[in-house]
Amino acid sequence: MSSPIPATQSRMERVIREVPDLMAELRLEGVLQRVADFAAEVVGARYVAVGLLAPDRRTLRNFIVSGMSEPVRTAIGKLPVGRGILGLVIREGKPIRLRDLSAHPASAGFPPNHPPMKSFLGVPIATREGVIGELYLTEKIGADEFTEEDQHIAGLLAITTASAVENARLFGEQSRLMEEVQQLHRSRERFFAMVNHELRNALAAVYGWAEMLVRRKDPATVPRAAFEILDSAEQAVALISDLLDLSRLDEDRLRPVFRSVDCSIVARTAIQRVTPAAEERAVKFRLNLPGEGPLAWTDAHRVEQILVNLLRNAVRHSPKGGDVTTTVGLEGGRVVFKVEDQGPGIPTDQVESIFDVYVTSAGEERLGHGLGLPLSRRLAQLLGGDLTAISRPGAGGLFVLGVPAAETVS
């Protein structure tokens, strides 16, 4: 027949079992209250208190008590700040165990309305940087004083408390920093919205006057500068729109409108929008479609926006007189759009980085790579699809956009 487990071992096991729950508590006040309540139970004390040092490292704050009712706490008034024996535990950084704390020379007495306390056990709470607080217990239940075993158990609990306190403080600091980051993000978005609005207003006048100069006269009599101004204004307006869409995506405020869409119509509309820019470079568009236009369950406006970005990118990278081919078809439950040009192609090590807002390849500044590709991938993913680039160095660029087919969704 096995012998009973020694009391010390049993209490140590209870402390060990308490560690996970204690570390899971991320509120500092919650940690201290849990320690105080558990210490009273496992050590056997009528009153327990846990206090942490203030920045001056002399006085206590975050003072939590277990065993006192709220009326008693209110009657006592101000909580201890670390004088007398409590201050001695902090200064010496070692446990103090007393049969009668009032008989100790460092005793500072009790305030009015304070319950009587005689036996005392105080242990420092310390980290590698030094003492950060203390755990003390008074009025040993069922005995006149605390034992050496009680002191050992309280010491183990103090070590665990130090780790739990640091954990809660780190979490609190992380939460504070996250709140600051979110506040900065909100400020940035408000600033961005204001700048976006002002830029749109300023560009509207430039675009309007440039369009009047170009559209209402014989092209042969319009200065080249007018065309350049109109083209630059169009690019600036498109860039602002892309920035606004990226901002909405970051804030999860962009909501697509899903419906059954004839993808042949979407492809033709996108090509029409980019045709003027293509004609300036004598680039020709080719559209390959199946017998009937495939249907997708998607947002027609956003798919068109993606295709326009891909086509504009293809025109920029195509040689003068080159071809840009768009192919639309069904592949494995998806409607797939393929846009390919006759430019230099995409290097293997850039098939992902070209979709990164913050990465610009050598020479792309001149070509005006912009935000079109990063935004297009984000939009494709929002639609339940994806956008990929295929590396074909020397054989031209190839982008593949896939969105759910209407038949698959239904």
DSSP string for 373-398? HHHHHHHHHHTT-EEEEE--TTS--E
pLDDT at 42: 92
Helix, strand or coil for residue 282?
A: coil
b/e code 207-223 from CB counts within 10 Å (16+ = b) = beebeebbeeeeeeeee
Q: What is the spatial distance between Cα 281 and Cα 264, in angstroms, rounded to a whole number?
A: 25
Q: Which residue has the tokens 């996970």?
A: 20
Residue 410 pLDDT > 70, yes or no?
no
When pLDDT is cut at 50, 70 and 90, the band that residue 3 belongs to is very low
CA angle, residues 295, 258, 351, in degrees to nearest 5: 75
When pLDDT is cut at 50, 70 and 90, the band that residue 353 belongs to is confident
Residue 289 pLDDT > 90, yes or no?
no
Among the ranges given (4-18, 110-124, 253-267), the one the predictor scored with the smallest mean pLDDT: 4-18
Question: In angstroms, how far is CA 249 from the centroid of its own chain?
Answer: 14
pLDDT at 361: 55
* Crossing angle of the two packed helices 7-24 and 28-39, in degrees rounded to 10: 170
When pLDDT is cut at 50, 70 and 90, the band that residue 409 belongs to is low
Q: Which range has highest mean pLDDT (139-143, 214-218, 370-374)?
A: 139-143
pLDDT at 370: 63
- Residue 237: CB atoms within 10 A of its CB come to 16
Q: What is the spatial distance between Cα 364 and Cα 353, in angstroms, rounded to a whole number?
A: 12
pLDDT at 2: 44
Task: Name the strands in the sheet holding 334-340, side by side, starting at the edge strand that comes first in the sequence.
Answer: 284-288, 323-331, 334-340, 398-404, 386-390
Cβ atoms of 410 and 297 within 8 Å: the answer is: yes
Helix, strand or coil for residue 83?
A: coil
Report domain extents, the chain: 7-177, 255-409
Query: So what CATH class is 7-177?
Result: alpha beta
Residue 171 pLDDT > 60, yes or no?
yes
Q: What is the spatial distance between Cα 385 and Cα 267, in angstroms, rounded to a whole number?
A: 17
When pLDDT is cut at 50, 70 and 90, the band that residue 204 belongs to is confident
pLDDT at 111: 79
Average pLDDT in the chain: 84
pLDDT mean over 394-403 = 89
Residue 38 pLDDT > 50, yes or no?
yes
Helix, strand or coil for residue 323?
A: strand
pLDDT at 189: 73
Among the ranges given (249-253, 366-370, 380-384), the one the predictor scored with the smallest mean pLDDT: 366-370
When pLDDT is cut at 50, 70 and 90, the band that residue 325 belongs to is very high
Report the CATH architecture of 255-409. Answer: 2-Layer Sandwich (3.30)
**pTM for this predicted structure:** 0.53
Q: What percent of the chain has pLDDT over 90?
A: 34
